Amino acid sequence: MRPSKRAPDALRPVSLERAVARYAEGSCFVKFGNTHVLCTASLEEKPPSWLRGQGRGWVTAEYSMLPRATLERTRRESTAGKPSGRTMEIQRLIGRALRTVVDLPALGERQITIDCDVIQADGGTRTAAITGAWVALHDCIAWMKARDMVKANPLKDHIAAISCGIYKGTPVLDLDYAEDSEADTDANFVLTGAGGIVEIQGTAEKTPFSEAELLQLLALAKTGCTKLVDLQKTAVA
């Protein structure tokens, strides 16, 4: 039995609220249960310096947690003087995932920065962030289309992400913090709307896992991401 009483293949209640940030070109407040992330898309009319003059745009992401998003207060990274290794790992993942569904030349020489700020954290912040970031990115691109800034549609597919893990011997979908801190194996999957795999990050915390277990987790992830993509479609419809 999961701590949340959910079935092994059940997502937490998910919501995707659009247009929550007054000034951003696109935004989404995403909730996976008690995990809440504010995603904003900011358009800049020039690409990063290392990309100048190449006729392509760029999509990047930054990730941060409010100090008291967590059970115990976490030290602010501006005070620590630099983002932690975990933060850098996550924001690199988000940016990489989004770029796989964007036609960068079609963006033109521009940069879109997706800021994912975790307001409350109950496990799965990176997967919620990716799922919400896609909505913010979609709306930013819609904003550009409304202003005739792009011709072809630069957004080629959906992207959604979910965590799976082996909790007390059972493969389960969408781990919350109570499960995550106990799970033997924890894996994050990023899938496209078409079902292609964009990223797998699976880690055995204690006991190595087998190929069979990996396939069980992947099957759960496909179920979960299909639902998340449906929710994205409803949200942006």
Residues in the annotated binding site for phosphate: 86, 124-126
Figure out which of the listed residues 40, 131, 163, 232 binds its own copies, where binding follows CB under 8 A: 40
- Say how far apart CA 38 and CA 114 lie, in whole Å: 10
Residue number, 1 or 23, with CB nearest to its own copies:
23
Residue number, 8 or 202, with CB nearest to its own copies:
202
Distances (CA, A) of 159 to 9, 181, 214: 20, 26, 21
Q: From 141, 55, 146, 61, select the one nearest 102 (Cα to Cα).
A: 141
Q: Residues within the annotated binding site?
A: 86, 124-126
Classify residue 27 by burial, with Cβ atoms within 10 Å: 0-12, 13-18, 19+: buried
Q: Which of residues 135-174 bind its own copies (CB under 8 A)?
A: none
- Say how far apart CA 75 and CA 87 lie, in whole Å: 13
Q: Does 226 bind its own copies (CB under 8 A)?
A: no
State in angstroms the smallest separation of the CB of 144 from its own copies: 16
Count the residues of the shown chain that bind its own copies, applying the rule CB under 8 A.
67
Q: Does 215 bind its own copies (CB under 8 A)?
A: yes
Figure out which of the listed residues 1, 5, 7, 82 binds its own copies, where binding follows CB under 8 A: 82
Token pair for residue 217? 């987790």
Tell whether the torsion through CA atoms of 202, 229, 128 and 49 is positive or negative: positive
Residues in contact with its own copies by CB under 8 A are 21-24, 27, 34, 38, 40, 42, 44, 62, 64, 66-73, 76-89, 91-92, 96, 100, 113, 115, 117, 119-120, 122, 187, 191-192, 194, 196-211, 214-215, 218
